Structure 1
């Protein structure tokens, strides 16, 4: 079976999920996969070896500024004629199936050509009744129209009584594997096992670093320009797949926006989470609501020294959830012809989740009331 697999490349979470799927799909030689990425300039991608000779299209993305969606800048950067041309010229007829991880070019090309399509990722969970801001019909409509698919494999941190799957999250052992592959000695200690990992790429980075410098804790910050003046307690690091995984595994806690994939990995490691949603971004605001209602993280409207200090004073405890091999199960589902109902696949996977099920189910029930 020939598969065209489109990935929204705006955030690293989509690409992290795609890497896990690439490894899982390799176990089935009968699945021939052509990858396509869109959403950011190709020179901004890194560690793309798993995807071979992948295709690139411009696609669609949202502009942001100082922790909020910039609607005017988003409108200015849209190129609808380019999108239409890319959809019409994509040779989707050469494939048996299109998989879209919220990637619009492949999704709309499949719909236009009548090719079977599967939507895979967190955004497709919003096709169901899950925690989300109320009355925001425009945002819901945009999300559903952005990258439509015939079959949805939505993912979330809780099933919420819906046919959605657990997250695809990199296991802790993968961080150790990345450490070994990087050539680093196994007995080397982390730079600082007391550090707090910070990943807030949508915030105003200069102000963020200045706020962190007021605190006594040690912070490792990804996503900020390396030439920013930083205090002794703030270490700025360039994007690195292996480095980020090591620093995440050894972190005391994590401060991040309310994206999906990083929080899923952090929950697997049992780290306390302080999260701020990207303002005006429907998915992140919905995620923040779910995090608070499921009691999986502390959610704040602003990230500053006062908010971080108050959070740390409470000595937050992390929630540990071990996710199953979702990528492997999806690959088997694809290789077997997608005959198993999605609801049954979801139920089987949630039965494999190792967590305080009573806590998660009680919180999930209250989240929908």
Structure 2
């Protein structure tokens, strides 16, 4: 089922992508011939969303002839080294910054980090000093990674914050229960007090008043080229399940989830668990290892997704027109994403961190056709396209020093 159909889909998307890249290169051919723009990209190393998003951007910047270096931490170091073997990838230390409804919680941050933070802080200072003494970058880009911003400030380099969290800085979104944007706003304000340009990627229009203290521009999300919409009206009765985790524990008791899935024996489920867990399961439920190449193929073979409310996977579902049931983790951002899935009618958004019940699963399956229609027609859904991708890369280049100097 993943054979000829998906090869045709992939070939179609690749042709579109080549057309986009060709147009972009023609548009910028004169500039590219005259400059090798040096760009430093900082990527949050937590989870896969930041790395996946910035990998798309990095690949397009490399295709335009620019030189890239990366700062990241945690699993992001080895992942970026593997994906960009010809680029410099350096580890940085980023402490967990505790925040709450009242803003930054300094003492809690100190307690969490303790003496262990000192070597990492000294290493970051040494790295910043090293960049100050070397040939400067033409542009710094940060996806929720603060050391890159400090490099930009120290070297007087233009800084773009390019992430999805910044919409919580630039728009006064309403609280959800006891959660609010104040925690994320305090962290973003601490990490990135100044920026040449703030871009927030979003699969939805933010219907909230702007926060005039921070000017944030919304743009459609960027997704990897393997994610595509095959324009088929019917798809197999197959659901992709992605289980992320928050801290050291997953959000759901796996046997409970599998028990709910077992109540729909005529539907297939493929589970990807970020912790690699397994349990006894019926014949219609299979477990797979998370794999960068295999995952998009399974998504293309699915008519629906059940997942945590992570921005990146929801964006990929929007691009592929695959309705999603979201289960929010205990963060405001995830609850906001889950709520928008519900309000946009592109799936079902749960309000609690738990496994869906059999009744909720049945209701979600009944909504699949209508949800897919909403993904296509709802004007508040921001879908990625080759054109929006090219325009975003154009925006990024325009901020770099050599492009500014040419006016």
Could you tell me the TM-score, scaled by structure 1's length? 0.73
Greater radius of gyration (CA): 2
Q: 2:168 aligns with which of 126, 130, 142?
A: 126
**2:138–2:400: 8 Å Cα contact kept in structure 1?**
no
Whether 2:90 is the aligned partner of 1:55: answer yes
For each residue in 1:96-134, what CA deviation from the matched residue of structure 2 results, as whole angstroms up to 9, or x when unmatched? 321111112222333344432110010122222253426
**1:274–1:298: 8 Å Cα contact kept in structure 2?**
yes
- Tell me the distance in 2 between the aligned counterparts of 1:264 and 1:311: 19
Query: Counterpart of 1:37?
Result: 72
For each residue in 1:238-295, what CA deviation from the matched residue of structure 2 results, as whole angstroms up to 9, or x when unmatched? 111111000111101011111111111101111111111111x121122223333333
Query: Counterpart of 1:138?
Result: 183
- Tell me the distance in 2 between the aligned counterparts of 1:98 and 1:86: 19
- 1:308 to partner: Cα distance: 1.9
- Tell me the distance in 2 between the aligned counterparts of 1:61 and 1:40: 16
Q: 2:122 aligns with which of 85, 88, 112?
A: 85
- Tell me the distance in 1 between the aligned counterparts of 2:183 and 2:124: 23
Whether 2:397 is the aligned partner of 1:335: answer yes
What count of residue pairs does the alignment treat as equivalent?
Answer: 313
Query: Counterpart of 1:95?
Result: 137
Q: 2:365 aligns with which of 298, 306, 312?
A: 312
- Tell me the distance in 2 between the aligned counterparts of 1:125 and 1:60: 23
- 1:165 to partner: Cα distance: 0.8
- Tell me the distance in 2 between the aligned counterparts of 1:332 and 1:315: 36
For each residue in 1:121-167, what CA deviation from the matched residue of structure 2 results, as whole angstroms up to 9, or x when unmatched? 10122222253426553342124324555121111123437731111
Query: Counterpart of 1:180?
Result: none
Query: Counterpart of 1:167?
Result: 221
**1:38–1:56: 8 Å Cα contact kept in structure 2?**
yes
- 1:35 to partner: Cα distance: 1.6
Change over 3 Å in CA distance of 1:272–1:36 after alignment to 2: same
Query: Counterpart of 1:5?
Result: 41
**2:41–2:140: 8 Å Cα contact kept in structure 1?**
yes
| Structure 2 portions without partners, runs of 5+ | 1-36, 99-107, 211-216, 246-250, 402-407
| Structure 1 portions without partners, runs of 5+ | 64-71, 177-191, 340-369
For each residue in 1:145-200, what CA deviation from the matched residue of structure 2 results, as whole angstroms up to 9, or x when unmatched? 24555121111123437731111123466699xxxxxxxxxxxxxxx932100112
Could you tell me the TM-score, scaled by structure 2's length? 0.67
**1:24–1:327: 8 Å Cα contact kept in structure 2?**
no
Superposed counterparts of 1:137-286, under 5 Å: 137-150=182-195, 151-160=197-206, 163-171=217-225, 193-202=236-245, 203-204=251-252, 206-207=254-255, 208-216=257-265, 217-223=267-273, 224-225=275-276, 227-279=278-330, 281-286=331-336
- 1:232 to partner: Cα distance: 1.6
